[in-house]
Copies of this chain bind each other. A is one copy, B any other.
Amino acid sequence: MTSSDNARFGVGLLGHGTVGGAFHRLLEERADAVAARTGRRPHVVGVLTRSQGDFEEILAASQTIVELIGGIEPARTYVLRAIEAGRHVVTANKQLLSQHGDEVFEAARKRGVQVRFEAAVAGVIPAIRVISESLAGAYIERVHGIVNGTTNYVLTEMARTGATYAQALAAAQRLGYAEADPTEDVSGKDAAAKMAILARLAFNARVGLEDVRYEGIERITPDDIAYARELGLSLKLIGSAERIDDGLAVMVYPAFLYADHPLASVDGAFNAVTIESPAITEITLSGPGAGGIQTASAVLGDVVSTMLPAGAQPPPPRAVKLVEDVEFSFYLHLEVADRPGVLARIADVLGRNEVSIKSVVQRGLGDDARLVMVVHPVLESRFRSAVAEIARLDVVRGDPRVIRVIEETFEAPGAT
């Protein structure tokens, strides 16, 4: 064995579908960066699907097994066998963990290996890690979540367009936000499996899918949504897990939320989880709920964790080139003389400096006239020199006021 063999980390990949395929590509793309962080270069030692690969061979060559087959069998058998063989396991399998969690976690405890499953619950939202690690010392009182992107997309579309449930679901299917058979999602069962997993973690209690009472969104009508809008409420499919006296209630149901609830503004295929505890008040985590590459990112985070000792320091940081001059969109507020031609003169200065106006409002009269504008993204240096030139114009009084404007770069999937 050469030293470069020594520095490799074998990942056995079970399943090569939407998530498995995306994970495989992501791992190759990020292998160098992971090697820089962990000292070992991860590589896929073998892939198992229905038509390729041999499980025992893959197991023998791997240090961590990534299970992305889904469903109970054969995933359960492979996961238990991997644990028994002393391998860490990373999985996105909510069915398995919500129905056979006791068996899987007990096996991992006995064998002293890690079972990580960030991707099983809420896409890239690190709810599992935050609950089990950041809040390992906390008394958690309640967890509320929007943990199914399909139903949130459908409800958001119903609210946005006034569509019926059937219409919004059909649109979601056309756009790939809902599967051909959406039963598990719209019935609330998918969310119930995820809430069982969250409840187990948050309360260290034996909670399985069978313990979760769930209702879906099939019977929601445009009427209900119209009523919600009228009163400033949002309608969401909510998963909740909470302590009630000395017991627990774990449920999934459609619910109206007041506008100030942290989950009220989570739209489209986004997911979010709010964790409440007396000492922390509440923490809310939000992000895209599903998608192959997003889920694969959560899997990668877990794989890297199985490669690192606890609290491993990152390698020495690299020196960095600092960029001081950055493109921004800007707001510009000017006090100007209220006479003809003022705007033209200012626009001329901006134009010569290649600053382009996005919107402009003029108001007030006489000495109190104001010109308020927003310009398209432009290098700050260029904008500042235009403003300096404008400040010297005789029609401008006082100091120009400049504030940056940030536009949302990413669109929430499905939110238009």
State the A residues within 8 Å of B (CB). 26, 30, 33-34, 36-38, 88, 102, 105-106, 108-109, 114-116, 118, 124-126, 129-130, 132-139, 142, 144, 200-201, 203-207, 211, 213, 219-221, 223-224, 227, 233, 235, 238, 244-251, 253-258, 260-262, 265, 276-277, 279-288, 293-294, 296-298, 300-301, 303-306, 308-311, 313-324, 326, 331, 333, 372, 401, 403-410, 412-413, 415
Q: Report copies per complex.
A: 2
B287 in contact with A138 (CB, 8 Å)? no
Residues of B within 8 A of A223 (CB): 333
The CA-CA distance from A220 to B402 in the complex, in Å, is: 10
- Is the pair A284, B281 in contact by a Cβ cutoff of 8 Å? no
**Do A139 and B30 touch across chains, with their CB atoms under 8 A apart?**
yes
A23 nearest CB across to chain B (Å): 10
Do the beta carbons of A227 and B372 come within 8 Å of each other? yes
* Interchain CA distance A245-B323 in the complex, whole Å: 9
Given contacts A138-B297, A256-B404, contact A311 B30 (CB under 8 A): no
**Is the Cβ of A317 less than 8 Å from the Cβ of B204?**
yes
- Please state if B279 and A294 are interface contacts (CB–CB under 8 Å): yes
- Residue contact A261 to B296, C-beta cutoff 8 Å: no
Give A321 Cβ to nearest chain B Cβ, in Å. 4
Contact between B286 and A280, CB atoms less than 8 A apart: no
Q: Closest Cβ of chain B: how far from A106's Cβ, in Å?
A: 7
Contact across chains for A308 and B310 when beta carbons are under 8 A apart: yes
Inter-chain CA distance A106–B34, complex, in Å, is 20
Q: Nearest B residue to A221 by beta-carbon distance?
A: B401
Q: How far is the CB of A152 from chain B (nearest CB, A)?
A: 15
Evaluate contact between A317 and B200: CB separation under 8 angstroms.
yes
Query: Which residue of chain B has the shortest Cβ distance to A407 in the bound complex?
Result: B258
**B310 near A305 (CB under 8 angstroms)?**
yes
Contacting pair A301 B249 (CB below 8 A) = no
A40 smallest CB distance to B (angstroms): 12
- Taking a contact as CB atoms under 8 Å apart, the answer to whether B404 and A253 are in contact is yes
For A323, give its contact among B227, B247, B283 (CB under 8 Å): B247
